[in-house]
Structure 1
């Protein structure tokens, strides 16, 4: 039996053209050669190309907010103002930084956001059963779970539901096809990629929970 109250959330990619995700992440396709870049909300192609590979967290938020969510780069701009991302003197982009991101989500979007600096897989089902979605840090190679996990963390996916036997439904904004963008993995498949941290999100417009 599948237990999922949020599976109707949109499945979105952090790159403007879903069909280019695979070529970009595995074949060196130029991110600036994305004909749909304007749909991201970026003002310039250069800004899109520089930032799109860093916006898995904004894609997760956009999915969690539902079909009326702002554009990817509007969310980026809001998170930047709160310090959810930083840029050093060399221009290196750092983030997503969870605490200021959560403050941004609560203040601007009215959605309860709780930072989980230490999150066990066993804690996620209760969050889902409470009607929350959960952004978690995983290795980006979770899109190819049949291979050994090369590490943990560095990429964010949105967990939307669970199965009765402990499997997890999640949306992956850097999935390379429909199966890996809206995915389901068993606990044992998911765990080797999981970094043990994340941010849980309440329903848009819902009452806040105690943190």
Structure 2
């Protein structure tokens, strides 16, 4: 599915969009996703272990547009650049600096790490035609509720909202169509935002 307002693909980090809610909110084992192989994983077990950590790779897939490599192909390249760490059975990610180097060297994109980023700064980047992978709390899919925290999950901001005062973003763990491609006022977005991210050029195409 491609977003009608921004032209960017709307993708989830799980292979079956209709199962995202069951996986992230109801405890369904991702290994039971019947479309797991579409992710590029080698087995249901690998898919189940990694899929919950690949919000960043999903954002990159969306930014690359149609023809982007599979989710796990992107993960494999990112691992070679140490953009994820997998030690003692614990996956930690996404490490921004090596991720930016990977995106630059493999995909030819000018990725910029923003360690201190304000909502106003996001709007400036969007106005420059860039897209922003922003660190937010996954609870952003329920913006009507108090924010449980900030950071830990990545979404891709693609544009301002129609009124110019908010942000349009794609959420890899959105559980419905309206939370996968969402509009929020900047003040609401800020409640979930950790103040950091990575910007990518707009109009990127998979190489």
Deviations along 1:112-162, one digit per CA (max 9) or x if unpaired, are 100000111111111111111000000000000000000000000000000
1:85 is aligned to 2:96: no
TM-score of the aligned structures, taking structure 2 as reference length: 0.94
Q: Tell me how far apart the structure 2 counterparts of residues 39 and 117 of structure 1 sit (CA, whole Å).
A: 33
Contact 1:116–1:198, Cα closer than 8 Å, also in 2: yes
Match of 2:124 in 1: 126
Match of 1:151 in 2: 149
Match of 1:12 in 2: 11
Match of 1:53 in 2: 52
Deviations along 1:23-76, one digit per CA (max 9) or x if unpaired, are 111111111100000100111111111000000000000000001110000000
Match of 2:72 in 1: 73
Match of 1:209 in 2: none
Which runs of 4 or more aligned residues in structure 1 lie more than 6 Å from their structure 2 counterparts after TM superposition?
none
Q: Tell me how far apart the structure 1 counterparts of residues 101 and 25 of structure 2 sit (CA, whole Å).
A: 34
Match of 2:33 in 1: 34
RMSD over aligned Cα, in angstroms? 1.6
Per-residue deviation, 1:204: 5.4
Match of 2:21 in 1: 22
Paired positions, count? 202
Per-residue deviation, 1:22: 0.4
Structure 2: state its 5+ residue gaps: none
Q: Tell me how far apart the structure 1 counterparts of residues 184 and 70 of structure 2 sit (CA, whole Å).
A: 29
